[in-house]
A = this chain, B = another copy of it.
Amino acid sequence: MSTGEFSIIERFFTHRRSRKDVVLGVGDDGAILAVPEGHHLVVSTDTLVSGIHFFADICPAKLAVKTVAVNLSDLAAMGAEPAWMTLAITMPDVDEGWLSEFARGLEQVCDYYGVALVGGDTTRGPLSLTVTMQGHVPINRALRRDGAKIGDWIYLTGAVGDSGAGLQALYQGEQGSQWQPFIERHLTPKPRLAAGIALRGIASAAMDLSDGLGSDLGHILRASGVAAQLEVDQIPLNPQLIELVGREQALQLALGGGEDYELLFTVSDSDKGTLATAMAETGSHAICIGQIVAGSGISYRRNGQEVDVSISGYNHFKENQ
């Protein structure tokens, strides 16, 4: 009997563990799910394409972890608690070894974050993965991009630039052990779910960093109709990265490198105290990097002086990258 598309998702991706709110999971025309009362549903979709978002020879288990983590990061940025996911896999042929490795990684990461795989589709074609991640958030408590106000402080949950350095190391085939932490950071992002939930009712705006601080902050600014002043020397850079590539290159990676998956958020002056408490309770960090001001765009400052910083965000459709 040939392995038909019917059975692949079921055979490889039916987890032993499920959630109580999964009324019906993989195997029917659709999944049936129970959103808790008093909550809104939060939904996000991301596609990862071989050769664009990951190297074709990536370890399938690591790919599964990254695919899930990237999508969880979007839910973290909404302040949502993740619950369910669907997965569409397109692959040239049924490679059972690859699939079972991928399924192993998927089960691990889903168990870790408490997410149930509730459906999917498997089709023939060039390798790509599309995840739709779903979660929920108490009504009117979701974090959005459009609430930043003049005077709000701008924060990050952690150091930025490491993932971009890891990607460069992969591209350049760097073998040295000094690159391993950065490659690891690139391959295994940590979605800031606890921080996102802790920021409910505190952050005036939030998003996750997928395309570089310089590019991503622009989304909050445009959605909120405001501008930002960033203090260049307050942007959290990994000391090991500075040692490896120098401060200016580390800054470039932080601003334009992408895929850090830290949360970028704004908090009003009066909520700074609440923020400190909430972050401490969840073991999360909040590093202030600047302030929201009137106008549009980002200005960069160093020692009280405006400085010129040329950067560009990651763009899959750019001709040269």
Contacts and interface: CB of A to CB of B under 8 A. Distances in A.
Given A29-B208, A80-B30, A137-B32, A124 B93 contact: no
B144 A53 contact: no
B24 A142 contact: yes
Given A43-B86, A144-B24, A124 B317 contact: yes
Interface in A61-91: 74-75, 77-78, 80, 84, 86-88, 90
Contacts of A77: 29-30
A138 to B, nearest CB: 11
Nearest to A143: B29
How many monomers of this chain does the complex have?
2
Contacts of A33: 40-43
A228 B225 CA distance: 62
A28 B123 contact: no
A172 interface: no
A317 B93 contact: yes
Nearest to A39: B35
B6 A219 contact: yes
A318 interface: yes
Interface of A: 2-6, 23-24, 27-35, 37, 40-53, 74-75, 77-78, 80, 84, 86-88, 90, 93-94, 118-121, 123-126, 128, 130, 132-134, 137, 139, 142, 144-146, 207-208, 211, 219, 223, 313, 315-318
18 contacts: A28-B146, A29-B44, A32-B42, A34-B41, A34-B139, A43-B84, A45-B88, A45-B119, A45-B132, A46-B121, A47-B90, A47-B121, A47-B123, A50-B125, A52-B123, A94-B317, A121-B130, A126-B128
5 nearest CB pairs, A to B? A49-B125, A30-B44, A132-B132, A29-B77, A130-B130
